[in-house]
Chain A
Amino acid sequence: RKEVEQDPGPFNVPEGATVAFNCTYSNSASQSFFWYRQDCRKEPKLLMSVYSSGNEDGRFTAQLNRASQYISLLIRDSKLSDSATYLCVGGGSGGSYIPTFGRGTSLIVHP
């Protein structure tokens, strides 16, 4: 069982929709969490860090729920350009930050 689990999708949504992804993690000692975006045949790029208090960046909101051991990403008013794979990452316990990536969730936004 992978330490970080994501629904691979694809999530197929119309422009303007709100879509949410969840990601569960098994290591309760994990300290740092992130969402990355990866376009086809490109490198992952940092989308946002995830904090317990929740954080927002424009149309994107990320949340961390330590009690239930999951992180979430909410995208409002989806754009065609949001089509990509979204990777969640967790890691960091016992001193070293050793990241574990989920397998990614595919999002397709259609007109």
Chain B
Amino acid sequence: NAGVTQTPKFQVLKTGQSMTLQCAQDMNHNSMYWYRQDPGMGLRLIYYSASEGTTDKGEVPNGYNVSRLNKREFSLRLESAAPSQTSVYFCASSKSGLAGVAPNNEQFFGPGTRLTVL
């Protein structure tokens, strides 16, 4: 099992360019998440998908869009990149997006994408 995979690992963009970050999981998990991590800020939730066919905004959704392509894949798109979006992006998955059963909410993370916007 590869677990959670992310591509690309590194990316440099110019302001205004667009790109899509890809994420896939092979654990048959229902829920998937996108986070960004900045120094001193911790992990902040951008968007999540509790189940295939649904997506919802997290804490910091502005400037991003997502697509839950199928149960395995959850992509994050930057339509017009800005320097403020320079960050490390992590994708994660869990068995369930329903609250109350802790083991089902355990998250598994991909290795991250390091994005720099000039």
List chain A positions with a Cβ less than 8 A from chain B: 2, 8, 31-34, 36, 42-46, 49-51, 87, 89, 91-104
Contact = CB atoms under 8 A, between A and B. Distances in A.
Contact of B45 (A34, A50, A99): A99
B112 to A, nearest CB: 6
B31 A97 contact: yes
19 contacts: A31-B100, A33-B102, A34-B102, A44-B43, A44-B90, A49-B103, A87-B42, A89-B107, A93-B99, A97-B94, A97-B98, A97-B99, A97-B100, A98-B45, A99-B45, A100-B45, A101-B42, A101-B43, A101-B44
A11 to B, nearest CB: 17
B105 A46 contact: no
Interface string B99-118: 11111111111111000000
B50 to A, nearest CB: 6
Given A42-B112, A97-B105, A103-B42, 6 more contacts: A46-B108, A87-B43, A95-B98, A96-B50, A98-B48, A103-B41
A32 B104 CA distance: 9
A49 B41 contact: no
Nearest to A94: B99
A96 B99 contact: yes
A49 B33 CA distance: 19
Given A98-B58, A100-B45, A46 B107 contact: yes
Contacts of A50: 102
Contact of B102 (A2, A45, A51, A98): A51
A98 B104 CA distance: 13
Contacts of A89: 107
